[in-house]
A and B are shown apart, each in its own frame.
Chain A
C-alpha cells in the first residue's frame, strides 16, 4: 500500500532529478533549458497528483456529482504552464543572443573566450 501510495511522488522525484542532472551536467545551453523544462513539468505532475481524490471527477460542477478533485492545484499549475513557456522563450532568446555574440552555445567554450579576453 505504501509503495502504491507513494509511487507518483517517487517517479516525480526521478523526473525532477533527471532535469536537475541535465541542468548541471550538460554544457550545452539549449539542453540546459530543456532540462529546466523537464524539472518544471515534474513539479506540475506533483501538484496535480496532490489534487486527485479517489473516484473524483473533474471540477466542473454538474448535477448528481458531489465528489470532485481539488481545483486549487489546477489553477496554480494552469497559470504556471503559460508563465513557464513565456520565461522559457526569454531564456531561449538569451541563448540566441549568446550564440550571435560568441558563435557557440557550449558553456566551457564561452568561458574560455571570456578568459582569453
Chain B
C-alpha cells in the first residue's frame, strides 16, 4: 500500500515539475527543473524495483545531462525569447494526441498485474534459466551482457558514434589563428 501512495505522489510531482519547465523562459531554471524531474524519476525507478535503472538515471540524468546542458547554456546564453506566434495550434495537436493515447491505455493491462502478457514469456524464462545458464545473481546484468549481447554491442556502437560526432563538431580544442576570427578550426 505504501508503494502505491509513494507512486501516486511522485508521479504528481513529476507532472508539476514538467509543467513548470514548460512555463519558464529562463533556460537555467528550465535545466534545474529537468534535474529535479530526473531525480524524481530516479525515485520512481527505485519504487518500481528497477534498482539498476535508478542507479543509471541518478548518474546520467541528474549528473551528466545537467552539466552538459549548463555547459551549453554557458555558450549560448540563458534567455529564451517568448514564443512570438500563438501556441494554439501546438496545444490542439498535443491534446488530440494525448486523448488518442489515453484511449489506447484503456485496453492495457492494469498496473502491477502479474497476469499481464509482458510477464508471461521472456521475463520468467530469464529469471528461471539465468542461475543455471549464467550463474550470476543480477539478472539485469546477465540479460544485458549475455542474452542480449548483440543489442548491447549495438548500443555501445551508438555511444561511440555519438562521441565521435561531438568530437567532430566541437573538437577537443578550438585552434584560434591570429587574424582568423570566427575560424572555428
Contacts and interface: CB of A to CB of B under 8 A. Distances in A.
A62 interface: yes
B94 A17 contact: yes
The prevalent SS among residues of A at the interface is: helix
B176 interface: no
Interface string A54-72: 1011111110000011111
Interface in A7-56: 7-11, 13-22, 24-28, 30-31, 33-34, 37-38, 41, 44-45, 48-54, 56
A95 B100 CA distance: 33
B6 interface: no
Nearest to B63: A85
Interface residues of B, number: 91
A117 interface: no
A93 B165 contact: yes
Contacts of A50: 116, 118
A71 B118 CA distance: 11
Given A31-B27, A83-B155, A52 B111 contact: yes
Contact of A48 (B14, B53, B97): B53
A68 B119 CA distance: 10
A71 B139 contact: yes
B170 A34 contact: no
The prevalent SS among residues of B at the interface is: helix
Contacts of A24: 90, 93-94
5 closest A-B pairs (Cβ-Cβ)? A5-B110, A86-B162, A28-B80, A70-B123, A69-B49
Interface residues on A, range: 35 or more
B101 A13 contact: yes
A58 to B, nearest CB: 5
Nearest to A88: B65
Interface in B82-109: 83-84, 87, 90-91, 93-95, 97-98, 101-102, 105-106, 108
A14 B21 CA distance: 13
Contact of A90 (B84, B87, B137, B162): B162
Nearest to A80: B155
Given A52-B111, A89-B162, A38 B21 contact: yes
Contacts of B7: 7-8
Nearest to A40: B61
A52 B72 CA distance: 36
B111 A5 contact: yes
23 contacts: A4-B110, A8-B7, A8-B11, A11-B12, A14-B98, A16-B101, A17-B94, A18-B21, A24-B90, A44-B57, A48-B44, A54-B113, A69-B48, A71-B143, A77-B53, A79-B144, A79-B152, A80-B155, A86-B158, A88-B65, A89-B162, A92-B69, A93-B170
